[in-house]
Amino acid sequence: MSTDPQYVMAIDQGTTSSRAIIFDKQGRIVSVGQLEHQQIFPRAGWVEHDPLEIWRNVRKVVADAEASAEINARDIAAVGITNQRETTVVWDRTTGEPVYNAIVWQDTRTQKIVEELAGDAGPDRYKDRVGLPLASYFSGPKVKWILDNVDGARERAERGDLLMGTTDSWLVWNMTGGTDGGVHVTDVTNASRTMLMNLESLDWNEEICADMGIPVSMLPEIRSSSEVYGRGRTRGFLPEVPIAGILGDQQAAMFGQACFEKGMGKNTYGTGSFVLMNVGTEVVHSQNGLLSTVCYKLGEQPAVYALEGSIAVTGSLVQWLRDNLGIISSAPEVEPLAASVADNGGAYFVPAFSGLFAPHWRSDARGALVGLTRYVTKAHIARAALEATAYQSREVVEAMNADAGVDITELKVDGGMTANELLMQFQADQLGVPVIRPEVTETTALGAAYAAGIAVGFWYDTAEVARNWAEDKRWEPAGDEQERGRLFRNWQKAVTKSFGWVDEDVD
């Protein structure tokens, strides 16, 4: 009987929870551990997480997943990490203590910093180098805010006492020893979301770091997405297990969806939604409001790039209907409520709670519910909320097709909202192409597992990964094309009503 490890573990450190998922050789889920963490909202537009809570939860979910599968660390060939991107942690390399809460990707407090950095050059000041417009979304300005606003932080950073990273870096540093020799690394996909990495040469841009006042000594070493970065600390919860894969969550979903060929695309429906298209080994600079980003890099192989459309609010809009308005008492209730009416009743919901991301990049936008009459009921509002996800995704796909010069012919989908069949059908109708859900919908965690497994030889290559991918369900476009176009035009009109709501005189 073989004594070789039979499983790979993925740690999926997400926006609302941390999970550990154990996969077998066929990419099937063996067990899951999951814990939610607190969402901290100190002020309007501010969103924080406690890094120490996240670290505690990760240890617990790993133990839970192992116990559920009745295995231990000796049975695990490698661990891959996938994480909420852009969310930023700054901590003391000597004590291991964060100097401030993690500032989450949704947080908009850095808008003034972003505007000051843009100056006369505008939001595209760094875009040719980093692939990103200046926006509060990205990590660099978040680090600058912490250094500017936490007492003594800048002096400590300049002395070399502080480290920064996205949550992958925070976890790997702790998992490999923390203050006792922890490895301070990130991968190219996460580094490409900081606004500090040269997109083509894959190294830190010291000039931009200087503009933001960020000492380069704080930054993690940039590595590929699939290699052994270190091993679990001997006295830790994964002793001597290779930590061998890191991918930002959306790139991990691309990997898990086996989008390895140029022109392949996917949409992940989570807290927000993220559409990515593989554009090959050459950077494509967007002319239509999209981001140029790294898709993945395997060991010494050339990096593969992607175009990305980031949508801030999709699944979290359903949570808002539940938690803030009480229209539903649980998220799954939104589908039957929305399906109880034939259409949106003329109502359109623009969920610009923290501005609009791609393709508009309007930080001055705020949420709008328009087209209301006395006819509109809570069912119409529920339907408008679901439709908003599909309209936003269509905007991004159309921009992507224009940039890439080739149209997406089908859209692979994953994430929690893909269980909503009303939404999936409406998405196919709006795009005019099939929408396809895989058998394993936990593609984010699966992608991280694949990257780690390839690094240690558990899986041979991406071709083996692609053979594991299997379709669960597809939705073909239906309905009247003229009516689909009318709905989308009304949505575009509604979007313009969300602009310009931020009062610049109020901090």
The answer on whether 489 is annotated among ligand-binding residues is no
The answer on whether 19 is annotated among ligand-binding residues is yes
Cα separation, 82 vs 254, in Å, equals 12
The answer on whether 251 is annotated among ligand-binding residues is no
Distance of CA 108 to CAs 45, 233, 357, 469, Å?
Answer: 5, 36, 12, 37
Cα separation, 171 vs 177, in Å, equals 10
Pairing state of beta strands 291-296 and 304-311? antiparallel
Q: 216 with 164: CB under 8 angstroms?
A: no
The answer on whether 301 is annotated among ligand-binding residues is no
The answer on whether 232 is annotated among ligand-binding residues is no
Cα separation, 15 vs 37, in Å, equals 9
Q: Which two tokens stand for residue 362?
A: 């309007």
Specify the DSSP element, H or E, that contains 63.
helix 51-69
Classify residue 68 by burial, with Cβ atoms within 10 Å: 0-12, 13-18, 19+: middle
Q: Which two tokens stand for residue 67?
A: 């116990």
Cα separation, 128 vs 198, in Å, equals 9
Of the CA atoms within 13 Å of residue 455, those in its CB half-sphere come to 31
Pairing state of beta strands 291-296 and 273-280? unpaired
Cα separation, 276 vs 337, in Å, equals 30
In terms of Cα–Cα distance, which of 141, 114, 125, 156 is closest to 363? 114
Q: 268 with 447: CB under 8 angstroms?
A: no
Distance of CA 498 to CAs 355, 369, 407, 492, Å?
Answer: 9, 9, 29, 10
The answer on whether 85 is annotated among ligand-binding residues is yes
The answer on whether 249 is annotated among ligand-binding residues is yes
Q: What are phi and psi of 468, to 5 degrees?
A: -75, -25
The answer on whether 416 is annotated among ligand-binding residues is yes
The answer on whether 13 is annotated among ligand-binding residues is no
The answer on whether 107 is annotated among ligand-binding residues is no
Distance of CA 132 to CAs 85, 196, 262, 268, 315, Å?
Answer: 14, 10, 21, 20, 24
Q: 394 with 424: CB under 8 angstroms?
A: no
The answer on whether 405 is annotated among ligand-binding residues is no
Instruction: DSSP for 164-188, please give it.
Output: EEEHHHHHHHHHTTTTTT---EEEH
Place of tokens 């901290």: 40
The answer on whether 83 is annotated among ligand-binding residues is no
Q: Is the dihedral of CA 438, 131, 504, 43 positive or negative?
A: positive
Cα separation, 474 vs 46, in Å, equals 38
Helix %, strand %, coil % of the chain (to 5): 35, 25, 40
The answer on whether 250 is annotated among ligand-binding residues is yes
The answer on whether 319 is annotated among ligand-binding residues is yes
In terms of Cα–Cα distance, which of 428, 420, 433 is closest to 382? 420
User: From the annotation, which residues make up the binding site for glycerol?
Assistant: 85-86, 137, 249-250
Which residues does the annotation place in the binding site for ATP?
15-17, 271, 315, 319, 416
Binding-site annotation: residue ranges for sn-glycerol 3-phosphate: 15, 85-86, 137, 249
**Which residue ranges are tagged as binding site for ADP?**
15, 19, 271, 315, 416, 420
Output the known binding site: 15-17, 19, 85-86, 137, 249-250, 271, 315, 319, 416, 420
